Structure 1
Amino acid sequence: MKLIKFSFVVLLLCTVNNIMGANIPNEHDKKTGNITGEVIDEDGEHLPFASVSLVGTTLGATTDQTGHYLLKFIPSGEVTLEVQYLGYKPQTKVINVEALKSAQVNFQLEKDALGLDEIVVTGDRTQRNRQEATTIVSTISPEIFKITQSATFGEGLNFTPGLRLENDCQNCGFSQVRMNGMEGPYSQILINSRPIFSGLAGVYGLELIPSNMIDRVEVVRGGGSALYGSNAIAGTINVILKDPIGNTYEAGFSSSFIGIGLDDSGDVAQDYDAHFNTSLVSDDHKTGLAIYGFWRDREPFDANNDTFSEIAELKNTTVGSRLYHRFGNRSKVTADFFNIKENRRGGDKFDYVEHEAGIAESVKHDILTGALSYDQFFREKDLWSVYVSGQSVKRDSYYGAEQSLADYGNTEDFTYTIGTQYSAHFHGVGELTFGTEFVKSELEDTKLGYLDYENAVIKDGAIESIPHTDNTTVADQESTTFGAFAQYEMTFNKFKASAGVRYDHYSIKDNTDKSDEKSGDVFSPRLTLKYDPVDYIQLRVSYSQGYRAPQIFDEDLHIETSGAKKIIHKNDPDLEQETSQSFMASLDFNKEIGNAFVNFLVEGFYTKLDDAFANEFSAPDADGVVTYTRINAEGGAKVQGLNMELNVVPSSQLNFKAGFTIQKSEYEEEQELGEKKFFRTPDNYGYMTLNYTPTKALGVAISGNYTGSMLVPYNEEVLKESDSFFDLGLKINYDIKINGAKLRLFTGMKNIFNSYQEDFDTGIDRDPAYIYGPMQPRTVYFSIKIGNNL
């Protein structure tokens, strides 16, 4: 807590410095002028809410709904003006601002059909043109969420090379994303580039974050460990939240029907969600505020009519905001806040309290996340940032069967990050980025024990509270990581090279067992080379080392329950950190062929894991508890394969994108059930999207996901090979103009051919982890949106 207070003091001092002594222009400043203009596309259409900024400063504005902008109180002299708009190439102009005068600067933007010139930040922790970056950064844009009707962050991850979202439990819907064949904990999930998404939040987190709060998601496969630390062996997934862009609003409602037309299932399950977004920006563009909200109510779905759910019941309410304020020409403070409240439950007897069900896996989340950052420009374009962010997770849970009263629990987790970073630009020489970061996580997991209904407090004929007995602390642990990183990038004609290193010191303590403390010092180097033989081909190769520390908890806090047994997870006392060496090579082809823009990416990856984590199964104890113990596998493991992506844009009305992964993941020695291969990991999988807009008002989108066969354990005794699946979806939308806004109507179907698992285990003694394939069966949905920025 002292570090958090110190960080807030630093930010406060920066703020006071700007207020008391900053160069803040106003209407009485005789050394400033104004800039006005319009932003249009190649067809002469005005572009609303385009971003207009002065390079090397925090000054900026957005165009209004008519495509016009106004920048006030710009310091006189030569300035560089830059315009950005999603789907178009950025454009810059150098102009001279005269005191007490207005300059008119108009822009006509060229379409960027392949997204090559979009600005990304994740690959090197600094802003980069995607095509010029030494690291491949894949972007999941808002358009992907719209095309695929993805209500949450997790649903959109299937439409990026090398990523695959999977459901791992029939009861509670625990999900994870695999990147390049490696399971979820090998990927670092970031919020606005900060590693505050804790292991506890990550257990169900992919369904917790609504897509309407996301500006975009940036994915870096492999090689991220040198800059982002632990858990970035497979790569990083950076969730970037929406900024205030102008005076905009949007609201929508969607209704889905899960399991339409299935013969063997129970009733069709309904899934409702609603959202809103609005942003406000002051006339002088010094202050902006974005507010968003999301609500969801999903009924449980029973696929095989055995009264037990295959898709969990879910209720989610999310509210959040993002605020910025510019104190002067070259400084800016940004604050983020969001709160997620979620209830989910799987099993049976949903109208009863948990302990009266045959099986119930139930969790109630209350997640508070906040962040504060301060940015200051120095010299021409040097940028210094200092930040603090934190996340509090409170979770009430029940994992029990056969009317057990002793399986209620409570978990509290607090994770925070404090850091600073400086990026220095040297003309004709290169760019240096360096910084430090401190991350701490504190977690306490308590089993509440027996609920004493005889002494329940009754008020107005209803139970107000129920006392409990026999509280037991299951875990009281904390982890700290101090990291320091540096990276230098150089350009030589057609070559570009970046070399980086990160040092981490981590410590993991178990306060219930003072002798159980793990710590380590890790150096993670990274080297990337990029060569452009011609302007439409980029060749990249990279080498990196990474590590994964013994976690306090990740999926350990997901507990699978059946009527016959309960499965818990723990670490072996002798568990050592896992280390990796990764090699990647890619060819990125981007060219206009005839009238079509074509992008083809092929990316090879190879990762060697030493002391790789694996599981050992115990026999059930007297209470039916089976323990999965995480150990270091003998001989390590190897993950290798190819990611491919094709993007073809034959016209402004049609866009086709497809990706496919061929990979192999296996341990060097036989592990559980005498098998070398990673479980639940298909050797091939892929996706496709096709978006067609025959008119400005009408849009048709087709999306699909292919999942190859995989090995899935059943009851920890048998390995079964699954079928392959192809999940095809169709969406149609129509826009109606209403004054200065649009009304957008949607309808569509997911998993049209119902490519869905057919052999779910049944009954109270089922194996809830025996689940694979697409996340949901055939689903029909209807949606409506209204807003001035659709």
Structure 2
Amino acid sequence: MKIIRNGLLMVCSMLYTSVLLAQSISGKITNEDGEPIAGASIQIHKTTLGASSDAEGQYAVKNIANGTWTVRVKAIGYINTEAKLTITGKDQNKDFVLASNSSSLDEVVVSGTMKEVSKLDSPVPVEVYTSRFFKANPTPSIFESLQNINGVRPQLNCNICNTGDIHINGLEGPYTMVMIDGMPIVSGLSTVYGLSGIPQSLIDRVEIVKGPASTLYGSEAVGGLINIITKNPKNAPLLSADVFGTTWGEINADIAGKFNVGKSAQSLIGVSTFNYANPIDNNHDNFTDVTLQSRVSVFNKWNFNRKDNKVFSLAGRYVYEDRWGGEMNWSKKYRGGSDVYGESIYTKRWEFFGTYDLPIKEKVSIMFSVNGHNQNSYYGNQSFMADQYIGFLQTTWNKTIKNHDILTGVAYRYTYYNDNTVATELEASKISLPGLFVQDEISLNEQNKLLVGARYDYNSLHGSILTPRINYKWNSKDKSDVLRLGIGNGYRVANIFTEDHAALTGARKVIFEEDLNPETSWNANLNYVKKFYSSGGSVFGLDATAFYTYFNNKIIPDYETNVNEIRYSNLDGHAVSKGLTLNADASLTNGLKILIGATLMDVYSEEKGEKIEQMLTEKFMGTWSIGYTIRHLGITVDYTGNLYGPMRLPLLGDLDPRPSKSPWWSIQNIQLTKAFSNGIEIFGGVKNLLNWTPGKNAAFLIARAEDPFDKNVQWDSSGNPIPTPDNPYALTFDPNYVYAPNQGIRGFLGFRYNLFK
């Protein structure tokens, strides 16, 4: 009997123990946008129990005994989180939302070396900004979203039509290459249009390289590049929507969805619309303060499943925009006439691009892009009609031999450009640009890496162009310190009428003083990154860079020799862009995220011993993005802003009463976002909290706004305006005294929705 009793006790004990260990915790791991996180680590503290999330973000930890346990969740690129759960004999469901760590060194980047590599391992410093960063200050286009990135400034070039370009470290828009998914889809004519109409809901991240990238990407990558990476259809929501409006009457809507075609392909399609049709004249100059716009864009991307994870993707985009600004009583019946002044721009733009890995063992890829741009514009009675077509084809071969990671490639680019100005009055511009490049990334050891590369291009107009570069990277053993040094060469072939709005307004005559030669530059930059990791999972970082760029043959428009002319010639001297930039960031486990940046720079030209400060370029800029998430309420507060120092402004002569320098100015915004468990977010806030506009610091912005066709201006024998009682300052009509947005304080309200499986 004793043996039987002991046996029964043992069986009962085993049954009881099995009951205690039968409980499990399961759930889903997602990011702040509701997207599943694969490969997250879930660990029961002080035990060996754990699991990893699958491709759908699902996880399950089994055989957990009764008691109170701490569950810890970790994932690369996200802030660690934990929660205490009490197990009482029942299975539990627990979902986790991980906050992205915007400063993560483990993010994958492609822009610096044209191949996927972790941000830490890249010898070229690459800044990465996720879609969550841009949602802290929602805007109708990426062009405006870049205003909160240190060292990057969207520059408006006209008070009336509000076209503009992107400045990187003080260099104007034509020095920046803009790409979508690594494809160069934008050049001079469409710097601003290429950044409009990309549905925000389709953007995964934006990568920015500051400094010349001509070795890999050729002309136009002199000052840097902006690479917009769209979402992979596999990871995108089934349906997403992002809609908001402002108290000024602006309405923006982005709708996107994905679908599968059997097991062979996934497609992602998005539509973006923006409409603003409410003329406002708060500065009382009888001109619209903000350009009225109607824009629609359609984007479609396909990914095809292939063996061995070979890539085959195709994408296309179409943008149509109708924008106008001018006198408050302007309507389309006045378009192109001399009765009421208006600037009206119709834009049609299409793009098609793709990537295909050859079905062989070697890593050989073919990339292509084609785009067309039609512009039908009137600036008062001055017409500007232009067509541009660009075709690009590139083949790359990536080969690893011991500690050498070699990338070679051949590329061909064809550009057709024609307009109705003197730039192409004899014949359309047709430029063939074949090129080849080679890059060798040498891993000297675990802490040291060297990148050497060179590119040779043959421009059909200017001949041979060689652009070499060398980059060195060192990191500490624990990878908390990274030092990078880079030296490179860049070049750019200028097309005046695609770059300078002042040449199109009809307010000035364009003078070419000589045949323009390509600009060339040498750049050196030193970058240091320091990361601090707390035991609780918080991350702190510093990112500092010193840069220096030296230009030959720089083309700088001369507005001052004659107020009725813009004179173009290659600089008989040199130009310099130099400075220091610093970013500091913190991602705390309590939900606080801070990113603060500042840039000091000096951009000037020197000719015949005279140093001239570059027009419309600040010596100091600062940016910040501060967010705090109250997790148990699902509420996030975002405070974003920028601060700019004085910059030299274009005046129309010695009598012009407007300030020759801009004041210090700042645009600040605040937003509250409420996230719900069903994938819905409601957000709202205030833009331009300080209600700052440039008109508050000048008697007027648009010169001679009351006489836009210069009908009452009197001239001397040399063709210069003279002072009269009606024109005491000897001015002509000119809308180019612009350095900041002319839109005051306004509220906004919107919602987002993401539906996953």
Same fold (TM over 0.5): yes
Structure 1 residue 372: deviation in Å?
Answer: 2.6
Query: 2:276 corresponds to which letter in structure 1?
Result: R
CA contact (8 A) 1:556 1:568 kept: no
Q: 1:365 aligns with which of 333, 338, 347?
A: 347
> Secondary structure of 1:651's partner?
coil
The TM-score with structure 1 as length reference comes to 0.77
2:389 corresponds to: 414
Matches within 5 A, 1:272-351: 272-281=251-260, 284=263, 286-299=264-277, 300-348=279-327, 349-351=329-331
Q: What value does the CA root-mean-square deviation take over the aligned residues?
A: 3.2
Q: 1:200 aligns with which of 189, 194, 201?
A: 189
For the pair 1:64 / 2:8, whether they are aligned, the reply is no
1:751 corresponds to: 688
Structure 1 residue 344: deviation in Å?
Answer: 0.6
Q: 1:134 aligns with which of 114, 123, 132?
A: 123
Q: Distance in 1 between matches of 2:340 and 2:237?
A: 52
Matches within 5 A, 1:209-248: 209-244=198-233, 245-246=235-236, 248=238
User: Alpha carbons of 1:497 and 1:570: their partners in 2 closer, same or farther (altered >3 Å)?
Assistant: farther
1:550 corresponds to: 494
CA contact (8 A) 1:88 1:113 kept: no
1:527 corresponds to: 470
**Deviation digits for residues 692-742 of structure 1 (CA, Å, limit 9, x no counterpart):** 1112521110001111111101226667011011211100011233xxx32
For the pair 1:695 / 2:685, whether they are aligned, the reply is no
Query: 1:443 corresponds to which letter in structure 2?
Result: Y
User: Alpha carbons of 1:147 and 1:716: their partners in 2 closer, same or farther (altered >3 Å)?
Assistant: farther
CA contact (8 A) 1:64 1:246 kept: no
CA contact (8 A) 1:572 1:629 kept: yes
Q: Distance in 2 between matches of 1:359 and 1:424?
A: 59
Q: Distance in 2 between matches of 1:50 and 1:42?
A: 5
User: Alpha carbons of 1:634 and 1:311: their partners in 2 closer, same or farther (altered >3 Å)?
Assistant: same
1:681 corresponds to: 617
Q: Distance in 1 between matches of 2:555 and 2:594?
A: 39
Q: Distance in 2 between matches of 1:136 and 1:519?
A: 31
User: Alpha carbons of 1:331 and 1:389: their partners in 2 closer, same or farther (altered >3 Å)?
Assistant: same
For the pair 1:781 / 2:748, whether they are aligned, the reply is yes
Name stretches of at least 5 consecutive residues in structure 2 with no aligned partner. Answer: 1-25, 41-52, 61-73, 81-95, 709-732
Q: Distance in 2 between matches of 1:149 and 1:601?
A: 25
Query: 2:414 corresponds to which letter in structure 1?
Result: K
Q: Distance in 2 between matches of 1:246 and 1:130?
A: 23
User: Alpha carbons of 1:653 and 1:247: their partners in 2 closer, same or farther (altered >3 Å)?
Assistant: closer
Q: Distance in 1 between matches of 2:567 and 2:304?
A: 49
**Deviation digits for residues 235-256 of structure 1 (CA, Å, limit 9, x no counterpart):** 1111222321255211232111
Q: Distance in 1 between matches of 2:483 and 2:421?
A: 54
For the pair 1:255 / 2:199, whether they are aligned, the reply is no
Structure 1 residue 84: deviation in Å?
Answer: 8.3
Q: 2:357 aligns with which of 375, 395, 400?
A: 375
> Secondary structure of 1:329's partner?
helix
Query: 1:604 corresponds to which letter in structure 2?
Result: A
Query: 1:641 corresponds to which letter in structure 2?
Result: G
2:78 corresponds to: 87
Q: 1:500 aligns with which of 453, 456, 461?
A: 453
Q: Distance in 2 between matches of 1:646 and 1:146?
A: 20
CA contact (8 A) 2:102 2:128 kept: no
User: Alpha carbons of 1:67 and 1:283: their partners in 2 closer, same or farther (altered >3 Å)?
Assistant: farther
Query: 1:612 corresponds to which letter in structure 2?
Result: K
1:385 corresponds to: 365
- % of aligned pairs identical? 23
> Secondary structure of 2:462's partner?
strand
CA contact (8 A) 1:298 1:314 kept: yes
Structure 1 residue 203: deviation in Å?
Answer: 4.9
Q: 1:602 aligns with which of 544, 548, 554?
A: 544
CA contact (8 A) 2:29 2:37 kept: no
Query: 2:439 corresponds to which letter in structure 1?
Result: Q
CA contact (8 A) 1:412 1:445 kept: yes
Q: Distance in 2 between matches of 1:211 and 1:475?
A: 39
Considering fraction of residues, name the structure with more strand.
1
Q: Distance in 1 between matches of 2:222 and 2:472?
A: 19
For the pair 1:648 / 2:648, whether they are aligned, the reply is no
**Deviation digits for residues 278-312 of structure 1 (CA, Å, limit 9, x no counterpart):** 1123564x311000011111134423122202321
Query: 2:738 corresponds to which letter in structure 1?
Result: I
2:484 corresponds to: 540
Query: 1:579 corresponds to which letter in structure 2?
Result: T
Q: Distance in 1 between matches of 2:217 and 2:126?
A: 15
> Secondary structure of 1:615's partner?
coil
Structure 1 residue 188: deviation in Å?
Answer: 1.4
**Deviation digits for residues 457-516 of structure 1 (CA, Å, limit 9, x no counterpart):** xxxxxxxxxxxxxxx958621222112111001112211110010111112xxxxxxxxx
- Larger deviation, residues 626-635 vs 125-134: 626-635
For the pair 1:721 / 2:655, whether they are aligned, the reply is no
Structure 1 residue 749: deviation in Å?
Answer: 0.7
Structure 1 residue 768: deviation in Å?
Answer: 0.7
User: Alpha carbons of 1:212 and 1:631: their partners in 2 closer, same or farther (altered >3 Å)?
Assistant: farther
**Deviation digits for residues 98-149 of structure 1 (CA, Å, limit 9, x no counterpart):** xxxxxxxxx9999756221110000000101001111110112101210011
Q: Distance in 2 between matches of 1:207 and 1:314?
A: 12
Q: Distance in 2 between matches of 1:665 and 1:351?
A: 41
Q: 2:679 aligns with which of 736, 742, 746?
A: 742
Structure 1 residue 62: deviation in Å?
Answer: 8.1
User: Alpha carbons of 1:731 and 1:377: their partners in 2 closer, same or farther (altered >3 Å)?
Assistant: farther
2:44 corresponds to: none
Structure 1 residue 319: deviation in Å?
Answer: 0.8
> Secondary structure of 2:221's partner?
coil
> Secondary structure of 2:174's partner?
helix
Query: 2:240 corresponds to which letter in structure 1?
Result: E
User: Alpha carbons of 1:559 and 1:317: their partners in 2 closer, same or farther (altered >3 Å)?
Assistant: farther
User: Alpha carbons of 1:568 and 1:387: their partners in 2 closer, same or farther (altered >3 Å)?
Assistant: farther
Matches within 5 A, 1:456-467: none
CA contact (8 A) 2:255 2:272 kept: yes
CA contact (8 A) 2:178 2:194 kept: no
Structure 1 residue 66: deviation in Å?
Answer: 4.7
2:377 corresponds to: 397
1:658 corresponds to: 596
**Deviation digits for residues 170-229 of structure 1 (CA, Å, limit 9, x no counterpart):** 111011111111111111112222223132222544444443342221110113121111
User: Alpha carbons of 1:524 and 1:651: their partners in 2 closer, same or farther (altered >3 Å)?
Assistant: same
2:718 corresponds to: none
Structure 1 residue 576: deviation in Å?
Answer: 1.3
CA contact (8 A) 1:140 1:156 kept: no
1:592 corresponds to: 533
User: Alpha carbons of 1:48 and 1:355: their partners in 2 closer, same or farther (altered >3 Å)?
Assistant: closer
Q: 1:484 aligns with which of 414, 436, 453?
A: 436
Q: Distance in 1 between matches of 2:440 and 2:504?
A: 46
Considering only CA atoms, is the larger Rg found in Structure 1 or Structure 2?
2
Query: 1:635 corresponds to which letter in structure 2?
Result: G
Q: Distance in 1 between matches of 2:118 and 2:671?
A: 32
Query: 1:124 corresponds to which letter in structure 2?
Result: T
Q: Distance in 2 between matches of 1:345 and 1:475?
A: 30
Q: Distance in 2 between matches of 1:702 and 1:503?
A: 46
Query: 2:530 corresponds to which letter in structure 1?
Result: F
Name stretches of at least 5 consecutive residues in structure 1 with no aligned partner. Answer: 1-37, 54-60, 69-82, 90-106, 258-268, 449-471, 508-517
